[in-house]
Amino acid sequence: MADPLSPDPFDQPVRDGTPEVVADAPLLLAIDGYEGPIDLLLTLARDQKVDLTRVSILQLADQYLSFVETAKRLRLELAADYLVMAAWLAYLKSRLLLPEPETEEPSGEELAAALAFQLQRLEAMQGVAARLLARPRLGRDVFARGAPEDMPVLEKRIHEVSLYDLLKAYGEHKQRQMKQGPLTIAATELYSIEDAVARVEAMLGKLPSWTKLSSFLPAGWRSGGVKTRSALASTFVATLELAKAGRLEIRQEGAFGPIFLRTPQSQEGGT
């Protein structure tokens, strides 16, 4: 699915040299501060300074897309989740702007309403979380009897064991068990090519523009080390497979340069 709404920056002549210096630390920090794309959307929605029930989803989509554009221009690594959300919002935007096709699918309005609900719900939860935490709390604002007189008068409690203790004991036991025994072949925590193919396939069609290969790495596999290298390698092999099948286009500007992917633009019929 091509995004008809904005020119694809990667279709334009390749800029040479280093166009921008990645020095915008505040924005980088700002990205770290969000607990996922929905949280970021909510923050943007608050900027509209209207009741969340009347927030403009269209405006919100624009704000989010420009946020992601900025991040991309600064060559900040954005988690795949953020890019998928961007693709989805671009799609939503087109659904809202273009006449509704006669399909069984939910209408653009319905999709927008669902997103608005999700934002309101998260806003509500963040609000009550703050109110909950502001209550007088035991051990901080309110205190129990400091010297309980050792008389469990009503309940015969012989042993102080909580459910947490019990479950933790079992968890630790399982853990030790998994580590023991030379014949226990534990599953490796390396990213498999099958997983990578499935992941990239799922994201195909949601990515209108050239997207960095490294953006496809799943969350939790991006913190460096062996895990990240295995995820990168498997994802690369997966893209080669998909490119061979004509389902993907790959582009690299030079040796050791970043690798970009996109859905083939000539593809007939949407996926």
Q: Out of 17, 152, 257, 270, which residue is the one contacting another protein (CB under 8 A)?
A: 152
Q: Is 177 helix (H, G, I), strand (E, B) or coil?
A: helix
Query: How many chain residues touch another protein (CB under 8 A)?
Result: 91
Establish if 189 lies at the interface with another protein (CB under 8 A).
Answer: yes
Q: Which of residues 164 and 256 has its CB atom nearest to another protein in the complex?
A: 164
Q: Which of 116, 5, 128 is nearest to 55 (CA)?
A: 116
199: which DSSP letter? Answer: H
Site string for another protein, 40-79 (x = CB under 8 A): ----------------------------------------
Establish if 198 lies at the interface with another protein (CB under 8 A).
Answer: no
> Where does this chain touch another protein (CB under 8 A) — which range of 3-11, 133-141, 207-215, 232-240?
133-141
Establish if 244 lies at the interface with another protein (CB under 8 A).
Answer: no
Q: Out of 21, 23, 29, 151, which residue is the one contacting another protein (CB under 8 A)?
A: 151
Q: Out of 8, 35, 47, 194, which residue is the one contacting another protein (CB under 8 A)?
A: 35
CA distance 258 to 215: 11
* Residue 77, burial from CB neighbour count under 10 angstroms (0-12, 13-18, 19+): middle
Q: Helices 193-203 and 80-97 sit at what angle, rounded to 10 degrees?
A: 20
CA distance 38 to 23: 26
> Where does this chain touch another protein (CB under 8 A) — which range of 19-27, 43-51, 55-63, 127-135?
127-135
Q: Which of residues 143 and 256 has its CB atom nearest to another protein in the complex?
A: 143
Q: Which of 77, 91, 82, 67 is nearest to 35 (CA)?
A: 82
> Where does this chain touch another protein (CB under 8 A) — which range of 9-17, 21-29, 116-124, 259-267?
116-124
Q: Nearest approach, Cβ of 27 to another protein (angstroms)?
A: 20
Residue 136 corresponds to which tokens in the numbers above? 């007088």
Establish if 169 lies at the interface with another protein (CB under 8 A).
Answer: yes
